[in-house]
Amino acid sequence: MALPAVTKVVQWGDSNVYKVGGKVFAMCHPSGGLSFKVTPIGFVALTEGGPGRQAPYCAKGHWVNIPLDGAPDDDIIDWLSDAHGLISAKLTKARKLELGLG
């Protein structure tokens, strides 16, 4: 929630869904795990050699899911910041200005 222009909704049952400009960049599942958008390279790094796996229902869009237990806070902060940047970059220039994203 510390990232700019973030909103949180409960969606798809009881998942906490985090959005920027109305577009999802991360989801926290009550059954455990955090799903978020990554680059194609990040997807390979996190799913082949890292702590992640393909996020259910979202893997084709380069989404990963990691277990929250044992994941270092600094890594989670970096992953979420990157996910926020990837999604906010897709917003229109007008929408970015409206949200104060520049």
Full-model pTM? 0.92
What fold does the segment set 6-91 form as a domain?
Answer: Aspartate Aminotransferase, domain 1 (3.90.1150)
Q: d(Cα 75, Cα 20) in Å, to the nearest integer?
A: 20
Structure tokens at 75: 């890594």
Question: Using CA atoms, how far apart are residues 7 and 20, in angstroms rounded to an integer?
Answer: 6
Distance separating the N- and C-terminal Cα atoms of the chain? 18
**Long-range pairs of 70-73 with CB within 8 A, sequence gap ≥ 24:** 71/34
User: pLDDT per position in the chain (102 positions), as tens?
Assistant: 899 999 999 998 889 999 999 999 999 987 779 999 999 999 999 999 889 999 988 867 899 999 988 789 999 999 999 999 999 999 999 999 999 997
- The residues, any chain, with a CB within 8 Å of residue 66's CB and separated by 6 or more, are 33, 34, 46, 50, 51, 52, 53, 79
> Taking a C-beta distance cutoff of 8 angstroms, is the pair 8, 18 a contact?
yes
Q: What is the pLDDT of residue 91?
A: 97
The Cα 76–Cα 8 span in angstroms is 17
